[in-house]
Structure 1
């Protein structure tokens, strides 16, 4: 009897994993927002966020989860951003250590800057969890546009991220 329960849970997990792996979020071309939010950690994220600023699809950008050793001038040099652009439009967040921390750091920044809409830019395999954590932290009246950076994740990356997503959903559903 117990093995049937385990089998049912395993089949549900496997079907969910297949859905997760074959239906990764995609890039979004249209739509303007007040800000673009870019969690560090994946190739292509920051350049895509800067491209959104250049195209005037957002007026501000927060890069969340920046290593505390990184200085704005180093960031500007690495990504070829003028210091004027850094001062007016690009904020570096140094508080976050993980995806949940990115969401908390973003929520604080959004409140301070009176943001009503934002574009979340992260890797396709990371989008669901990043968006879920962010939606938990933000007021419901903040519009979030999910703009995934296309990648070619390994099966191992997908496996880890799917299980992190499940853990995130469970931790959000359970009272602490």
Structure 2
């Protein structure tokens, strides 16, 4: 009986991983509603570049780079992005208070409230979007409209496996009220 229960849980876990791997976050549709702001989570290639493109296109008014290293400056970003210094100076904020996805959401919540925004475009990698959106919805609740906007990537098996485990463990921790 215990072996069957363990086998069933293992099968559920494996099927969950397959579903997770084949249903990664998607970029926002071109017809997605404009939002007041965008929050981009650091840690993956193409994320900040995409956020600046969204800003340039007028789909948002302001961007928070959440989880930025405190040593990084807007000038550093300007050099990395080959221009756009004026845009970075006026409309991009560097947030260095957060160290993980949950604290990214908390930092973003304070920033959104300070600027009196009502909607946010969440920008992160496709493999990270499910957990990021979960954390943001938990912290922001229904006070803000969230538009997920995933940056496509080609994650390795280990990246997907690690992210799936983080997502499952976080969901279990919330369920167990830990």
| Alignment TM class, shorter chain as reference | over 0.9
Q: What is the match of residue 138 of structure 1?
A: 140
Q: Secondary structure at the match of 2:108?
A: helix
Which moves more between the two structures, 97-106 or 123-132? 97-106
Structure 2: tracts of 5 or more residues without a match: none
Task: Map 1:76-95 to 2 at 5 A.
Answer: 76-95=78-97
Q: What is the match of residue 147 of structure 1?
A: 149
Aligned residues: 176
- C-alpha displacement of 1:24: 1.0
Q: What is the match of residue 2 of structure 1?
A: 2
Q: What is the match of residue 71 of structure 1?
A: 73
Instruction: Give me the whole-angstrom Cα distance separating, in 1, the residues matched to 2:122 and 2:164.
Output: 19
The structure 2 residue matched to 1:35, chosen from 26, 34, 37, is: 37
Structure 1: 4+ residue segments shifted above 6 A? none
Q: What is the match of residue 26 of structure 1?
A: 26
- C-alpha displacement of 1:175: 1.9
- C-alpha displacement of 1:115: 1.2
Post-superposition Cα deviations, 1:146-173, rounded to whole Å, max 9, x if no partner, equal: 1111111111111100000001111222
- C-alpha displacement of 1:81: 4.6
Structure 1: tracts of 5 or more residues without a match: none
Instruction: Give me the whole-angstrom Cα distance separating, in 2, the residues matched to 1:41 and 1:27.
Output: 17
CA RMSD, aligned part only? 1.2
